Amino acid sequence: MDTPLPKTEIFPPAKSESAPGAFSAIRAKRARLDGMMACYDICNITPREIDALVDKMLAAGQPLDADMLMFSSFGERYRGHLCDITGQAADASSAADMMSVAKDQLGIAQRAEDARSVATWVTFIDFLDVIRARTLKYMGVEESLA
């Protein structure tokens, strides 16, 4: 006769947290992210600063999603890999306007009529807009992002 296997839980029950406690944690995380984003200007940021911002955002709980991966691809570490492959040097201290770069890439995708790339760049620009808006808000600056 077969003995039944012991019942095991694949996923342990989630810890229940009160709604006010959960909202407090979310607000605290957002405040940490806002504070670290305020130290960087995505319209004048170096590859080295991109790496530092990505590291800080991930440490503060920002999910590693497609936008963060794309953002990190403009950082010094990723660019260093490209330099190794191509044999061309890059200056990690040379600042770029990430918003302009993303909008230029969007224009290229639109001219190529590549709907998938267009959607990717639009989403990335929205991500950069969020960083810029949070930075400006934290600094007490009112600016239209249009």
Tens digits of per-residue pLDDT, 1-26?
566 555 555 545 556 667 777 778 77
Residue 4 lies in a domain: no
Residue 31 lies in a domain: no
Measured CA to CA, the distance from residue 75 to residue 39 in angstroms comes to 16
Instruction: Look at residue 54 in the predicted model and tell me its pLDDT.
Output: 94
Residue 101 lies in a domain: yes
Contacts of 82 (CB under 8 A, 6+ apart): 90
Give the helix/strand (H/E) hosting 38.
none
Residue 122: which domain range? 42-139
Measured CA to CA, the distance from residue 22 to residue 13 in angstroms comes to 17
Measured CA to CA, the distance from residue 42 to residue 50 in angstroms comes to 9
Residue 84 lies in a domain: yes
Instruction: Look at residue 72 in the predicted model and tell me its pLDDT.
Output: 94
Using the predicted structure, report yes or no on whether residue 142 has a pLDDT greater than 50. Answer: yes
User: For the chain, what is the domain count?
Assistant: 1
Instruction: Look at residue 46 in the predicted model and tell me its pLDDT.
Output: 96
Mean pLDDT within 39-63: 91
pLDDT in tens, 87-132: 888 788 889 999 999 999 999 999 999 999 999 999 999 999 988 8
Residue 145 lies in a domain: no
Give the helix/strand (H/E) hosting 21.
helix 19-37
In the DSSP assignment, the letter for residue 44 is S
Q: Which residues pair with 3 in a beta bridge?
A: none
Per the document, the length of the chain is: 146
Give the helix/strand (H/E) hosting 53.
helix 47-59
Using the predicted structure, report yes or no on whether residue 144 has a pLDDT greater than 90. Answer: no
Residue 68 lies in a domain: yes
Residue 21 lies in a domain: no
Using the predicted structure, report yes or no on whether residue 143 has a pLDDT greater than 80. Answer: no
Residue 127 lies in a domain: yes
**pLDDT class for 146, splitting at 50, 70, 90?**
very low
Measured CA to CA, the distance from residue 1 to residue 124 in angstroms comes to 60
Verdict on whether the full-model pTM lies above 0.85: no
Over the range 81-92, which residues count as b (16 or more CB within 10 Å of their CB) and which as e?
A: eeeeeeeeeeeb
